[in-house]
Amino acid sequence: MGAAETTQDHRHESLVEQLRSLAAEAARQSAVELVELHVAGSSRSRRVRVDIDRAGPRSVTLADCQAVSLALGQAIDEAGILPTEYVLDVSSPGLDRPIRSADDARRNVGRRIVVTTSLPVDGHREFHGLLCDFCGDALRVDDDQAGEVRIPLDCIVIARQEVAF
């Protein structure tokens, strides 16, 4: 890797960190949390995608996305860290997004989830129910059939919100 590439990578990382800080503050002001931030495009035309969520059973609304978008857009413009032409997308992470981290688990407490395990837990490998708690090394789920179950994280193949129609 050449010196120009290293400098360009450093500038990109610095830009992402500045944007992440602004996005986290805009989310906090709207009583939601920053989940992810992605920056794509060239220095002339950037696309910033921000996913927000809130802890507990109530998901983010369109009004939440609009409030964060407005606050973040103003903060970006005031900071002057992006060219005048950029696209800002603020949305929820989506119902089908896997629960991957401790923060994801914490935010989903109180929501219905689906969990698939690599090994049977209490005789089952698939669980559908309310995520009651995240205990550091396990999820505690009130499964529709098995009742309350403690599912060790190291057994989980995939966990996500349950999509109900």
Where do the DSSP E strands lie in 31-111?
33-41, 46-53, 86-91
121's tokens: 């837990």
Segments making up each domain of the chain, as ranges? 3-91, 102-161
CB 116 within 8 A of CB 126: yes
78's tokens: 């005031």
Cα 42 from Cα 38, distance rounded (Å): 13
Cα 35 from Cα 23, distance rounded (Å): 10
Cα 9 from Cα 3, distance rounded (Å): 10
Write out the chain's pLDDT in tens, 165 residues: 555 557 667 888 999 999 999 999 999 999 999 999 999 987 778 899 999 999 888 889 999 999 999 999 999 999 998 877 899 999 998 878 899 888 899 999 999 999 999 999 999 999 999 999 998 899 999 999 999 999 999 999 999 998 776
- CATH number among 2.30.30.180, 3.40.1380.10, 3.40.50.1970, 1.10.150.240, domain 102-161: 2.30.30.180
Q: Which superfamily does CATH assign the domain made up of 3-91 to?
A: Cation efflux protein, cytoplasmic domain (3.30.70.1350)
**CA 112 to chain CA mean position, Å:** 17
